[in-house]
Amino acid sequence: MPIDPLAFQILWDRLLALAEEEARVLVRTAFCSTVREAEDLSFGLFDRTGRMVAQAATGTPGHVNAMAATVVHFIDRFPVETMRPGDHFVTNDPWLASGHRHDLTLVSPAFHRGKVVALVASTCHQVDIGGLGQTADGRSVYEEGLALPIMRIFAEGRFNEDIRAIIRENVRHPDEVEGDILSMVTAGERAGVELSALLAEFALDDFDDLAEAIVGRTEAATRAAIAKCPDGAWTSSLTLDGFGAPIILRGRLTIAGDGVHCDFAGSADALPFGVNLVMNYTAAYATFGIKAVIAPDLPNNHGALAPIGVSAPRGSVLNVERPWPVAARHIIGQFIPELVMNCLAQALPGRVPADGASCVWTAQLRGGGAGPHDPRFDAVFFNAGGSGARATLDGMSATAFPSGIRATASEVIEAIAPVVIWRKELVCGSAGDGRQRGGLAQQVEVATLSGEPFTVFALYDRIRHAAKGRDGGRDGAAGAAFLASGAPIAGLGRQEIPAGDRLCLRLPGGAGFGPPHERPAARVAADVADERIDIVTARDVYRVALTPEGAVDPDATARLRADGRPDAPSHRPDE
């Protein structure tokens, strides 16, 4: 039956609040630092057919958009009619969920007046799930940790003790993993109770009509936004550092009427390392990149995703089959929005940012365990480079785009693991110069508290291929990974940090947008004062002369900007 427009808006706002509240429950009750501190999760409400209706703002696109395609698999395995109050279902199957085994996805039925009216789902990233760890070193998915097929982990409120025992015996930190499962169960149960109360408040017998109205309106609005774009097809390619050899990604984006399709034919073949993507994860980030440009203000649910199609050749690095390794899939996956946005930049000039650092640089550290009484630790914290400049705004410094993941405070990492973060600071000159400047990178140094050796699982890119500027903007600075003693380390793979040494990460900077000499002189002076660029770059690249006191010299600046000479090369901190 039709829903009153005013009631519809109130219900919609309440659903969003419900989803966000339960995502905060996950954050506040999580045992694992990746969820508790970095908010590496997703939470959503689904109808009885498995269509995502609402999602929490807290979370990452890779999780939430993959989860949007996951719930239908749970329904196939356990039909809604067979679900009972207190049931909860789990999986970490990369091909059915979010692309690697470190992510647990839990689905819970929501009951109202004695019947299942909706499903709620959450995905949470685990620091450890057994196996080698989150590294690109595995040669098959069998090396990458405990496998949980879709199963009923709670039956009518009771934890399946056999499953609990299997989980605890296969992970390095069983209390963290079990604690997070209980956190997800709690959020799922609370969401069901709150949804039932909301339906009762508005005298609704079920969720079906409301869900249909939300999904239908969102799809219509998304198609209308797409229809305003020009029809056509545009191509782009991207070169990543790779594992010993560059990886080429290719994309072709087609807009036809009110639909979009992105095809990744021509991208690199699957690799014998854990950087491969399953189709779910590829589609998750591709749809995010498209929607971020075409319809950024519309809700993200089944209706928003339905007009967007994504394909990739089976057997390519973006669509691997079992049992190819996938543990470090984000190292490529977080570049996919950039690839599709570079196609859209040709169709919609001025609406797409310059390239940024894109993938987060994960500091996954492992130490101890040399003897039976030595402490073993696994510490993970995420680091972000600069994002690309926008047509009217500078890029964001040390900000994770497109993942949206949060940095973990140094004090937290030092409290949960025997490590010291000796340096964490922005890098002057790391941003791409432009009318709008890119975001600055950061440099991080970390070592064990005692000076003992430790292991790092390196997951880094843009060391050899920097972020590209747009419309005359300059490239950002490339990243670097090295030891404090001076030796470089590889961007991917497990490596040992010697006793007494430190791991040093200098992340990539975001690229600039527009010619640097078009940047207002006052903003250039402010950048120098804030130590974002140096005075040489101000003069040679931005063509702004400053007095010894740091003020703009208007006459000298006018002469610099009037001489018409080509821009000087950008100064880079690593040159």
How many structural domains is the chain composed of?
A: 2
Give the pLDDT band of residue 373 (cuts 50, 70, 90): very low
DSSP 8-class letter at 50:
S
Lowest mean pLDDT across 216-230, 339-353, 383-397, 552-566? 552-566
| pLDDT value at residue 223 | 98
Angstrom distances, CA of residue 235 to CA of 252, 297, 333: 4, 25, 18
573 and 428 part of one domain:
yes
342: tokens are 């570079």
Expressed as residue numbers, the domain containing 432 is 353-575
Is residue 213 located within the same domain as residue 361? no
Query: What is the pLDDT averaged over residues 416-442?
Result: 96
Residue 314 lies in a domain: no
Examine the pLDDT at 202 and tell me if it is beyond 80. Answer: yes
Average pLDDT over residues 240-259: 95
Whether residue 569 is predicted with pLDDT greater than 70 in this model: the reply is no
* Domain endpoint, select from 220, 245, 276: 220
Distance CA 221, CA 356 (A): 29
Q: Measured between alpha carbons, how far is residue 123 from residues 45, 133, 136, 162, 187 in Å?
A: 12, 18, 22, 22, 11
Query: Is 44 inside a domain boundary?
Result: yes
Strand order through the sheet with 52-55: 52-55, 41-46, 115-125, 103-112, 88-91, 151-155, 158-159
Q: Is residue 85 part of a domain?
A: yes
- The CA distance from 140 to 137, in Å, is 9
Establish if 228 belongs to a structural domain. no
Backbone angles phi, psi at 572, to 5 degrees: -120, 140
Last residue of a domain, one of 190, 220, 250: 220
**3-class SS of residue 574:** coil
Distance in angstroms (rounded) separating the CA atoms of residues 103 and 327: 10
323 located within any domain: no
CA 506 – CA 532 distance, rounded (Å): 15
pLDDT at 575: 46
Residue 372 pLDDT class (50, 70, 90 cuts): very low
Q: List pLDDT tens digits, range 267-286.
A: 999 999 999 999 999 999 99
3-state secondary structure of 8: helix
pLDDT greater than 70 at residue 429 = yes
Among the three residues 197, 220, 243, which one is the final residue of a domain in this structure? Answer: 220
Is 340 part of any domain? no
Cα–Cα distance measured from residue 345 to residue 159, given in angstroms and rounded to the nearest whole number: 50
pLDDT in tens, 314-353: 999 999 999 999 999 999 999 999 999 999 999 999 999 9
Q: Which amino acid, one-letter code, is at 473?
A: G
Give Dmax (Cα) for the chain.
79
pLDDT value of position 563: 79
Q: Which two tokens stand for residue 69?
A: 């395609």
Strand, coil or helix: 491: coil
Q: How many CA atoms lie within 13 A of 448 on its CB side?
A: 21
Q: Which helix (H) or strand (E) holds 295?
A: none
In-domain check, residue 22: yes
Start-to-end CA distance of the chain, whole Å, equals 67
406 against 79, higher pLDDT: 79
Identify each DSSP E strand in 25-156 by its residue range.
41-46, 52-55, 88-91, 103-112, 115-125, 151-155
Residue 152 resides in a domain? yes
**429 closest CA partner among 320, 563, 306, 574:** 574
Cα dist. 143→137, 457, 573 in Å? 9, 15, 39
Residues 6+ apart with CB under 8 A from 465: 239, 240, 241, 246, 478
Verify that 215 and 358 share a domain, yes or no.
no
423 plus 567 within the same structural domain: yes
Q: Is the pLDDT of residue 571 over 80?
A: no
What is the reported pTM? 0.94
Residue ranges of E strands in 356-453: 361-368, 376-383, 419-426, 442-448
